[in-house]
Amino acid sequence: MHALGFVLDNGAELLIHIGVNTVELKGEGFSKFVEQGARVKKGEKIVSFDLDKIKAKGYDPTVMVLISNTDNFVAVTGVPADRVALENDVILIKK
């Protein structure tokens, strides 16, 4: 589980992708906490991953957060950060 997709209440299609080429790990080092189709809330734990394992296997551990349907919104802006916590916004969407 190196990638997760969501449709937000505002219609935004959100993709969270953990690492570069981590699909090659075939789920090793990843744990999911929600089932497909579940409704999740801000701050709810959805996935965890072993950062050291990803790095040890030679993969870039960058986590990408993307909106795939940006044309449906007035503005979609990323919030730059080296590290984030549950309370931090990483993307701002203006409808």
Let me know if residue 7 belongs to a domain: yes
Run of H or E including 47: strand 47-49
Average confidence (pLDDT) over 56-63: 94
Does residue 91 lie within any of the structural domains? no
Tokens of 5: 């997709």
In a domain, 54, yes or no: yes
Catalytic entry in 16, 17, 50, 91: 17
Q: What percent of the chain has pLDDT over 70?
A: 100
In a domain, 12, yes or no: yes
Q: Give the residue with greater pLDDT, 87 vs 50.
A: 50
Report the domain count for the chain: 1
Q: Compute the mean pLDDT over every residue in the chain, rounded to the nearest whole number.
A: 92
In a domain, 88, yes or no: no
Is 17 among the residues known to form the active site?
Answer: yes
> What radius of gyration, in Å, describes the C-alpha atoms of the chain?
14
Q: What is the pLDDT of residue 34?
A: 92
Q: Residue length, the chain?
A: 95
The DSSP output letter for 38 is: -
Domain residues for the domain of 57 are 3-70
Domain of 59, CATH number, reads: 2.70.70.10
| pLDDT value of position 90 | 87
Examine the pLDDT at 5 and tell me if it is beyond 80. yes
pTM of the model: 0.85
